[in-house]
Amino acid sequence: MEIIVHSSRSVKPNYGDRSDGGAVAASVEVVHLSVFDKISYDEYITGVCAFHPPAPPNHILEAGLATALAVYREWAGRLGMDGTGNRAIVLNDAGARYVEATADAELSSSVVLELTTGANLLSLYPPSCDGAKELLLAQVTRFRCGSIIVGVSVHHRVADGHAIWAFLFAWGQATRGVRIDDSIPVQQRHDRLSLFAPRDPPQVKFDHRGNEFKPHVGDASGGNGAAHAGDEVVIHRVHFSKEWIMELKSQSQAAASEGAAATARPYTTTLQCVAAHLWRCITAARGLDGNQTTRMRIAVNGRSRMKDPRVPVGYTGNAVLWAWPTTTARELGRQHIRETVELISREVARIDDAYFRSFIDFAGSGAVEKEQLVPTADSLELTLSPNVEVDSLLGIPFYDMDFGGARPFFFVPGYSTVPVDGFIYVLQSFEGDGSVDAYVPLFSTTIEAFKRCCYSLQPTAS
C-alpha cells in the first residue's frame, strides 16, 4: 500500500468573532510544566483513528482544527524556557502541523488489521522524531473507498491520555460546527504550578526513588537492549473476547489453591486481570531466571485520587503516577492468577491522595536536583525486560470521536519508530462487544513463545 503526502502546512488558532480573540492572539503566555509533566516521557505519543464514509473534506477538518486550537492553545505552542530557565510551554500560537495524504487502497478489514502492527502504521501519522517543533502533528489519509484515517502525534510532556482525548473530542465538535465548551477559566486550564504546589513544610511519607525517579547514569539508557542486538521488536495484537475476559475474571476470583474454599473478591477490574495475565505470560515467554526480580509499571490517574485540592475539570496537563507491583519470576509463574491480581490491586490502591501529595512534596524539596535524579520514564530505553509497563486506554472513549460523518470503527495506539519491548497498551476492542485488545511489543526471539501462552490461563513458555 502506497501512501502519498500531498501537503504539509502549519495551522494556527482561529479565534473567529470572539471578543477577546485579538488580545489573546497578541499575547504570549508561558505555561510552567508541573511536576507530573516533568516526569512524563519526553517524547511524542501517537494514535490513529479510522472512519468510514461519509467523511468531511480536508478543508473542513483543517478549519475545525484551527477553531479547537483557539481554545486549547498549548497544542499550537512550543516547548521553551520560562524566566527561571525551566522548561515550559510557550503559548505563541506558532501552530500545529497538518498533513494531507492519500492511499492507493480500499480500507478493508484486512488492511485495517495489517495496519495494527505493520510498518505501514508509521506512515499514517506525521514523523515527530526528526526535529519537529510542533507539539501536535496531525495527518489525514484518504482511501479510495472514501474512508479516512486521522493520525496524530502529540508531545507527552504537554498532556496525558485524558487531556489529549479532550482536545481530540473538541476538534471533532468544531469540525461538526458544535460550540466547544470554553467556559472553563484559562487559569484553571493552564495554572499547573499552584495546583500542584508542595506543602510547607514538606511531608514526604513515601520513598519516590526507584519509582518516579532514578539516579542519573550518563549514557547507560537502553535497558538490556545490548543483549538483543540485531533482534527486532515485533508488535503482536492480542484480542480477548468478552467470554474470555469473563473466564479470566472468574479464575481471578477463585481460590488461590486447589481444595481451598472459593471466596469472592469485592471487585476485580478488567485492567488488573488482563495486566496480571500478560505479565505472567511475558515473563514465562522471556524464560527469566526464577530468582530474577520482575516489576510491572502500571499508570494510575490522579484525577480521581487527589482531593485537596482536586484536579479541576478541563485540566489540560499530566496527572499520572505509577504503581510498581514487584515479585520474582518464579513466584509469578507458580502463584495463582488471583494472587497476581491481588498484588497489582494492592499496589494500585497504595497510590492514593497521600502518595500523590508526598510525591509533589518530594519533587519540590530540592532532593531531585541535589541527588541529580532523573525520571524513571526513560524515552531512550529499548527494552523493559525483566519488567513490563501497562498503559490502559480502557477508560478513554476514543470511539465517541465524531468529525461529522461516522464515528471511528478502529483506533490503534501508535509506537515510535522503535517500539519498546514490554510496553503494553490495553484498550477497548473496536468490535464494541466488551472485548479487549492488547498491543504487546516483544523481541522476535520471544514473540513465538508468547503467542503459545497468551490465551492460556496457566502460561508456560513450553
Q: What amino acid positions are annotated as catalytic residues? A: 156, 402
Is 408:171 a contact under the CB 8 Å cutoff?
Answer: no
Cis peptide before 56, with omega less than 30 degrees from 0?
Answer: no
Is 151:139 a contact under the CB 8 Å cutoff?
Answer: yes
Give the span between the Cα atoms of 214 and 204, in whole angstroms.
Answer: 17
Cα separations in angstroms, 70 against 8, 186, 305: 20, 12, 30
Give the span between the Cα atoms of 462 and 451, in whole angstroms.
Answer: 11
* DSSP assignment letter at 321: E
Task: Read off the C-alpha cell for 233.
Answer: 521488536
Q: C-alpha angle 375/308/183, rounded to 5°?
A: 95
DSSP class per residue in 255-293: -SSTTSPP---S---HHHHHHHHHHHHHHHHHT--TT-E
Give the span between the Cα atoms of 250 and 11, in whole angstroms.
Answer: 50
Is 176:400 a contact under the CB 8 Å cutoff?
Answer: no
Instruction: Characterize the bridge pairing of strands 293-301 and 388-392.
Output: parallel
Task: Read off the C-alpha cell for 60.
Answer: 473542513
Local structure of 313: helix, strand or coil: coil
Task: Read off the C-alpha cell for 364.
Answer: 519540590
Q: Can you say whether residue 366 is alpha, beta or left, with left for phi > 0 and alpha for psi between -120 and 50 degrees?
A: left
Q: Can you say whether residue 177 is alpha, beta or left, with left for phi > 0 and alpha for psi between -120 and 50 degrees?
A: left
* DSSP assignment letter at 132: -
Give the span between the Cα atoms of 62 and 373, in whole angstroms.
Answer: 42
Give the span between the Cα atoms of 279 and 459, in whole angstroms.
Answer: 10
* Residues forming beta bridges with residue 235, ordered by sequence position: 441
Number of H helices, E strands in the chain: 14, 18
Query: How many residues appear in the chain?
Result: 462
